[in-house]
């Protein structure tokens, strides 16, 4: 049976999470969403393009992400950029990138700069600072 692209890219991210020393449990929440260690909400999206990578979010996905952010706790959006890197955004960075309207389709762009760092831009604004490719998965467990 062939492996779907979504399973291939999500599997790469999940294998890094599961291999982390702080990892304990994972529970699927549906369509690229997971609950890690009982309290870390992880969203996975992927792009097969070359840099810059584009990630589209349906109005339903944006609304659900907004609800996760409003609920508080640890929320991460992990953007799997082809086979090159995984760009992990925390709640503050997610809120920067998206517009405050959580009911419209939105998209993010991740662009690599020299040194294996990326910057992220969305309809809300550009995320402050560069995101290190090496930050995933440590960032989720910090």
Looking at residue 4, its pLDDT comes to: 85
Q: Where are the beta strands (DSSP E) in the chain?
A: 26-30, 33-36, 40-47, 53-57, 74-81, 85-89, 106-113, 117-121, 131-132
Q: Which helix (H) or strand (E) holds 15?
A: helix 5-18
Domains of the chain with bracketed CATH: 5-141 (3.40.1350)
C-alpha 109: how far from its chain's center? 12
Instruction: Give the predicted TM-score (pTM) of the model.
Output: 0.92
- What pLDDT was estimated at residue 64? 92
pLDDT 10s digits, 48-93: 988 899 999 999 999 999 999 999 899 999 999 988 889 999 999 9
At 101-122, the pLDDT tens digits run: 777 899 999 998 776 788 999 9
Hey, which bits of 31-105 come out as E strands? 33-36, 40-47, 53-57, 74-81, 85-89
Average pLDDT taken over every residue of the chain: 91
């Amino acid at each position: 049976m062939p492996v779907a692209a979504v399973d291939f890219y999500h599997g790469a991210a999940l294998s890094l999470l599961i291999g982390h020393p702080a990892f304990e449990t994972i529970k699927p929440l549906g369509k690229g969403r997971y609950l890690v260690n009982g309290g870390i909400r992880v969203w996975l999206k992927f792009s097969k393009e070359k840099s810059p990578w584009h990630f589209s979010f349906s109005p339903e996905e944006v609304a659900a992400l907004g609800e996760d952010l409003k609920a508080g706790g640890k929320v991460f959006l992990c953007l799997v950029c082809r086979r090159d890197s995984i760009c992990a955004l925390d709640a503050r960075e997610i809120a920067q990138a998206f517009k405050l309207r959580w009911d419209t389709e939105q998209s993010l762009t991740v662009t690599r700069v020299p040194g294996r760092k990326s910057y992220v831009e969305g309809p809300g604004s550009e995320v402050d600072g560069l995101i290190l490719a090496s930050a995933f998965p440590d960032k989720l467990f910090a």
